[in-house]
Structure 1
Amino acid sequence: MAYKSRSSPARQRAKPNSPAADELRRRIATDAARIMAEEGVRDFQSAKRKAAARLGLPETRHLPGNNEVDSALQEHLRLFHGGSLIQSVRRLRELAAEAMRFLARFEPRLVGPVLSGTVTPASAIELHLTADTAEEIGFWLQEHSIPYELTDRRLRFGGDRQATFPAYRFTADDVPVELCIFDRLEAREAPLSPVDGKPMKRANLREVENLMSEAAGP
């Protein structure tokens, strides 16, 4: 007697734009958000693929968008880290402001999770700096005896343009700090956000200080 194998619900192939496909996207987004919040994964794509593999979905046709994962991450943090999240955001913004004062000559602007407030234990303070040459930043860090790692960041811009920028990484009070360096012409255009594909929100020191004042209340 022949038997037909039955695949599990997670492995069944769902049609695009069907209720089943929407449910798969939601499940992947929810698990990817948990992975980012609890396991120190910062990259959306890595978290989504890891979540899909755990759900038995080797195909990537139903991966959610980064904005869907970000929304799920905000909800996860609100539900499971509500009280500590407020304290974490405050501390990271205070450290960011301190770093921006230290780097004031390079016109620092805060971007990323610390600005948006969607922070996890793995979140870094991300700053965009402006300088004639990237070496200026390295000399400044060396002058102040700050050990760093030189790397680069690949960013997207409008018109499907991509560009690679020099970057520096170091640690301050056990928090990773990442500096992405733009020349004066490049600094005029904000890169696209990995979350929603729109120009990144960027805040100067005064705007960060205003955020902290508003959060502190009267």
Structure 2
Amino acid sequence: MRRRVAREAAILLYRSQEKEFKQAKKRAAEILGARVLPSNLEVAEELDRIADEFEGSERQERLVQMRREALKLMEFLERFNPRLIGSVWRGTARRNSDIDIEVFSADPEEVLEEMRRRNLEVVEVERVTASGNHGVDESTHIYLALESGVKAEIIVRSPEKIGEERLCEIYGDPVRGLGIKELRRVLREDPLRRFVP
């Protein structure tokens, strides 16, 4: 039953009927009349299988293209110590995934100004406060619409957060991500490489 709930939750996420793992698991359990909830990892593994089933080789091509676009964005934002995180870093990106990049600046307006200078289309700016491994974490999320149709989310964190270890809510491992040099190397040597435990 646990696996059925994980698969149902993954389907809800894949079809964008739910955006968050927690809500998808609860709704899947309700749909199936189950009381057991799978882990985020179990849902992520099912989501990966579903994406492979529906997208095939197109998924791999999309990942490489998204990593190239991420590199271009990171080069634009180089002075803010960018790191590629999320599904494009992990190698698990699927249809409707966005590019997640974290940058570090005491003034999010500086990052926004750089984006405007580069003629990037800023769709929304949101201030987010969340409790994390090291207390309260405040960040600014800048959502972009890229010319290719891909969406990107730039997360602006305080410079004091550089090098701070955060655990992934899905995989439970440290979110290391890739810097510019590391991403260039991945694209050159193994563009489909996965970073999952």
The one-letter code matched in structure 2 to 1:135 is E
Provide the C-alpha distance between the structure 1 equivalents of 2:20 and 2:125, rounded to a whole number of angstroms. Answer: 19
What pairs up with 1:1-218 in 2 under 5 angstroms? Answer: 23=1, 25-39=2-16, 41-57=18-34, 61-148=35-122, 149-155=124-130, 157-158=132-133, 161-172=135-146, 173-215=148-190
Q: Is the 8 A contact 1:157 1:190 kept in 2?
A: no
Distance 1:46 1:204 in 2: 32
Q: Distance in 2 between matches of 1:132 and 1:46?
A: 33
Matching residue's letter, 2:190: A
How far apart are the structure 2 equivalents of 1:187 and 1:67? Answer: 26
**Alignment partner, residue 18 of structure 1:** none
What value does the CA root-mean-square deviation take over the aligned residues? 2.2
Structure 2's unaligned 5+ residue stretches are 193-197
Offset at 1:46? Answer: 2.6
Distance 1:122 1:142 in 2: 24
Of residues 188-197 and 40-49 in structure 1, the stretch that sits farther from structure 2 once superposed is 40-49
Residue identity opposite 2:13 in structure 1 = M
Letter in 2 for 1:117: G
CA drift of 1:190 comes to 3.1
In 1, the alpha carbon distance for the partners of 2:136 and 2:39 equals 19
When structure 1 is superposed on structure 2, of 43-52 and 176-185 the one drifting more is: 43-52
Aligned AA for 1:210? Answer: R
Question: Identity over the aligned pairs, expressed in percent?
Answer: 26
Mean Cα deviation higher: 70-79 or 176-185: 70-79
Distance 2:56 2:50 in 1: 9
Which consecutive unaligned segments of at least 5 residues does structure 1 have? 1-22
Higher relative contact order (CA 8 A, sep 6+): 2
- Distance in 2 separating the partners of 1:157 and 1:198: 14
Question: Which of the pair has more CA radius of gyration?
Answer: 1
What is the SS of the residue equivalent to 2:48?
A: helix
Match of 1:12 in 2: none
Distance 1:212 1:37 in 2: 26
TM-score normalised by L of structure 1? 0.78
Q: Is the 8 A contact 1:106 1:130 kept in 2?
A: yes
State the Cα deviation string for residues 146-189 of structure 1 (Å, max 9, x = none). Answer: 34211134455436x34221121111121111111122211220
Question: C-alpha separation between the residues in 1 aligned to 2:78 and 2:13?
Answer: 31
Distance in 1 of aligned mates of 2:126 and 2:155? 9
Q: Specify the code of the residue in structure 2 equivalent to 1:75.
A: R
